[in-house]
Structure 1
Amino acid sequence: MATYHIETYGCTSNRGESRRIERSLRDAGHYRVDGADEADVAILNTCTVVEKTERNMLRRAEELADETSDLIVTGCMALAQGEEFADLDVQVLHWDDVPTAVTNGECPTTTPDAEPILDGVVGILPIARGCMSNCSYCITKFATGRVDSPSVAENVEKARALVHAGAKEIRVTGQDTGVYGWDTGDRKLPELLDRICDIDGDFRVRLGMANPGGIHGIHEELVDVFAENEKLYDFIHAPVQSGSDEVLEAMRRQHRVDKFEAIVETFDDRLDHWTLSTDFIVGFPTETDADHERSMELLDRVRPEKINVTRFSKRPGTDAAEMKGLGGTIKKERSKAMSELKREISTEIHASMVGETHTVLAAEPGTGDSVKCRDEAYRQVIVTNASERGVKVGDFVDVEITAHEAMYCFGTPI
């Protein structure tokens, strides 16, 4: 678990983005401290409305970089003028990528009293607590322990309650959803997803993070469930963390690159329009230049639609914290190279969608008079002038993709 300090500048929309970031961090077991000097990571949510504001943002970024070992810069200036921060030891990230970066590649933490919650039209359904991994860099295992899985029937009833309460999207979460049921000797994730999709109602289901080692043995059964259920977003989040088997061994990950690629190949074979989300940790203490190159080659070969890039940082009490670390410059250079390739891949994928028609769910308010929607593969589609077009949160809408940015598309209702 990490401590974080967050500062927000600019408009109401920026403050809303910061609230979403904090909500995700709290859900993952992290907690806020008042000063950057007390935090494991500092987050600067920037504004870029006028030149004076830009100068203030750069000055504050410089100050925070001196006060904390890990600084993340996000927000409008970071996204529009990221090159301005090139001389600072910072990570420049989209708002959506900040929570994953803070977690340092660790599993999310579900507290013992975690219950389903409804946030707008999004229902959060924790299906289990704990994991079956023993990653050398992860501190959350000390808080969560081994996986503890409630029954399928119990989780289905919780999902049904969320739908009855108005949920249009159910996010199935856990430290590692792929090992759901391992503690009872039965790998029950495909059955659980199938039964949630059988609940009456007009809603969609998103599967949360599942480590490749956990889903490899069920990936063929799992992809059948995806292919057969329209309610299930064709989306998986399978964090590979490295393209080097040697680094994966040092990380004590329960998979190797070939298992990860076998999962991807199976989903590619069965699903036409789907999203692979994965994570990479760059700068792990044992990572050589050749190891990093293998990660770059894997990323270029697999070309996931969503990639989270995290620079390794030590967590107290973990085995990796005792290893001799790499220098900050090396980690920064490797992170920059991977982030540039990530942006190239994401831009290419979203550009390829222009001209297509998709059915999207308006899941949450966007900036100004816009809504953030998700298509069948959980890719983000922005509908602008939403009130004028009669689109509100909770609606299912057919849209034509008319334009794109690096991380999302724009859709016009048909």
Structure 2
Amino acid sequence: MSDNPAPQSNARKVFIKTYGCQMNVYDSDRMTDALAPHGYTPTTDMGEADLVLLNTCHIREKAAEKVYSELGRIRDFRDERGPGAKKMLIGVAGCVAQAEGEEIMARAPAVDLVFGPQSYHRLPDLVERARTERVVDTEFPEEDKFAHLPAPRREVTISRGLTAFLTVQEGCDKFCSFCVVPYTRGAEVSRPVAQVLAEARALADAGVREITLLGQNVNAYHGLDAAGQPVSLGALCHRLAEIEGIARIRYTTSHPRDMDDELIAAHRDLDKLMPYLHLPVQSGSDAILKAMNRRHTAAEYIDIIGRMREARPDMAISGDFIVGFPGETDADFEATVEIVRTIGYASAFSFKYSSRPGTPGAGMDNQIEEHVKAERLDILQAEITRHSQAFNAGCVGMTFPVLIEKPGRNPGQVAGRSPYLQAVHITADAGLIGQILPVEIIGLAKNSLEGRIVTAATAAV
């Protein structure tokens, strides 16, 4: 990477469209940070961009086709600008790029640059190369990309708001038979403790009050401390809780096999660690869980939730479900509906199984017909919605600490988040933004809660 950033007089614009998970949101921010010392500023107007990047996700079916469709629209937009317009480079990043780099170049001649999630620290050099040649970089480099990525300027972090994502772990060693992540993100790697703490302190210094730790299997975190000893996610949360200014800590996404006693105890002992756990189970059927290579049973999952709720009685649970996995019978599906009833999820995401090329599930017999998947998904989503609505209704009359994040949709209104990630709208002055205040929940809206501040005094958190 060049040590001589482009002068500001040569400022260029970068437009990034982000698909998929929170890690892609974080990665898009880090791409912006990597380009900033080289004269690039972000824009939301593709028409003024010198560089357009699609940060892609490969989890769902037809994800690649959506990317090609979007690339066609961008190509047409660029061509319509005419021969006198400034050159616009087009790049594809993320997991689709990692999985299909050469194919993207073959199918989309307008693309100048394709690079995977492990190459962001090399982005400025890759962009410069792309001015004279088409570039593909989808190798898994030996160097730590986080050690080479520049930190964002303080004013940039401030502009991003009071909450922030912080990637602490990447990759996956679980090899669930439906999932492409091990092939697109690589093996599990954890960032060193000192590196994570330094980034968290910088966020706190810029006014961030809440951080969400990210990882494909975030609770598999095992970053090394200064003595070269591995540190668990629970221990990391204890260290992060000591940082002044950080009032709330969350993490996602977890795997049941990595929910250890130390992490459960951290929920018991740390008020800053929010009482909200996203723990995907995917199916309630042991036969399907085995076919998925999840390596846990439904009973083991239920036991984990029980131990978590014993440690933190106010804990709310979120989850992920896949219906229509190959071989799923009516009884298997009913077991999934039953685990929703047993756990009582505050929220959950559910999907029809989609075959991903290169995964074991794609070659399995007994693929489920689409209409059966659709029927099962409707039934499951209705059950999830029933529990989610009951959870929200149960919050009415309760008082929660709410982080006031921004102005509300209406004049004289502010918006924040409960400990359970619910949006809360409050009639209050915008001067309260940034504070954590006790808020009584007084009503329900379609996708949010309505609250009123119990006291004007700030909560020292």
Shared fold, TM over 0.5: yes
SS in 2 for 1:172: strand
State the 1:379 CA deviation. 3.4
Aligned to 2:94: none
Give the count of matched residue pairs.
Answer: 324
Aligned to 2:418: 375
Aligned to 1:140: 181
Structure-1-length-normalised TM-score: 0.70
Match of 2:274 among 215, 219, 233: 233
Give the letter for the 2:450 counterpart: F
Once the two structures are superposed, what CA deviation does each residue of 1:168-221 show, in whole Å capped at 9, x if it has no partner? 110100110111118998461111011000111252111111110121xx1x32
- Specify whether residues 347 and 283 from structure 1 end up closer, same or farther in structure 2 by C-alpha distance, changes over 3 A only: same
Alignment gaps of 5+ in structure 2 = 1-16, 28-53, 70-115, 120-144, 455-461
- Specify whether residues 366 and 258 from structure 1 end up closer, same or farther in structure 2 by C-alpha distance, changes over 3 A only: farther
State the 1:390 CA deviation. 3.9
State the 1:294 CA deviation. 0.3
Once the two structures are superposed, what CA deviation does each residue of 1:259-317 show, in whole Å capped at 9, x if it has no partner? 21111001111212222111111111121111000000011011111111111111111
Give the letter for the 1:196 counterpart: L
What is the correspondence of 1:381-396 to structure 2 with a 5 Å cutoff?
381-386=423-428, 389-390=429-430, 392-396=432-436
Q: Distance in 2 between matches of 1:253 and 1:126?
A: 23
SS in 2 for 1:194: helix
Q: Distance in 2 between matches of 1:406 and 1:169?
A: 25
Larger mean CA deviation between 258-267 and 24-33 belongs to 24-33
The alignment yields a C-alpha RMSD, in angstroms, of 3.1
Give the letter for the 1:233 counterpart: M
Match of 2:333 among 292, 315, 319: 292
Which structure ranks higher in relative contact order (CA pairs < 8 Å, sequence separation ≥ 6)?
Answer: 1
State the 1:393 CA deviation. 3.9
Once the two structures are superposed, what CA deviation does each residue of 1:350-377 show, in whole Å capped at 9, x if it has no partner? 111111111111235554455442223x
State the 1:150 CA deviation. 2.2
Larger mean CA deviation between 391-400 and 120-129 belongs to 391-400
- Specify whether residues 313 and 38 from structure 1 end up closer, same or farther in structure 2 by C-alpha distance, changes over 3 A only: closer
Aligned to 2:165: 124
Aligned to 2:249: 205
Structure (1 or 2) with the larger CA radius of gyration: 2
2:380 is aligned with 1:338: yes
What is the correspondence of 1:26-65 to structure 2 with a 5 Å cutoff?
26-27=24-25, 31=55, 39=63
Q: Distance in 1 between matches of 2:203 and 2:263?
A: 23
What is the correspondence of 1:173-212 to structure 2 with a 5 Å cutoff?
173-181=214-222, 186=230, 188-212=232-256
Match of 2:210 among 153, 162, 169: 169
Q: Distance in 2 between matches of 1:330 and 1:27?
A: 33
Aligned to 1:409: 449
Q: Distance in 2 between matches of 1:253 and 1:210?
A: 12
Larger mean CA deviation between 260-269 and 21-30 belongs to 21-30
Give the letter for the 1:333 counterpart: E
Q: Distance in 1 between matches of 2:374 and 2:22?
A: 25
- Specify whether residues 343 and 193 from structure 1 end up closer, same or farther in structure 2 by C-alpha distance, changes over 3 A only: same
SS in 2 for 1:278: strand
Aligned to 1:311: 352
Aligned to 1:360: 402
- Specify whether residues 127 and 38 from structure 1 end up closer, same or farther in structure 2 by C-alpha distance, changes over 3 A only: closer
Aligned to 1:72: none
Aligned to 1:399: 439
Q: Distance in 1 between matches of 2:359 and 2:171?
A: 17
Once the two structures are superposed, what CA deviation does each residue of 1:49-97 show, in whole Å capped at 9, x if it has no partner? xxxxxxxxxxxxxxx9xxxxxxxxxxxxxxxxxxxxxxxxxxxxxxxxx
Aligned to 2:93: none
Structure-2-length-normalised TM-score: 0.64
Q: Is the 8 A contact 2:401 2:437 kept in 1?
A: yes
Q: Is the 8 A contact 1:132 1:179 kept in 2?
A: no
- Specify whether residues 262 and 41 from structure 1 end up closer, same or farther in structure 2 by C-alpha distance, changes over 3 A only: farther
How high is the sequence identity, in percent, across the aligned residues?
Answer: 29
Q: Is the 8 A contact 1:124 1:173 kept in 2?
A: yes
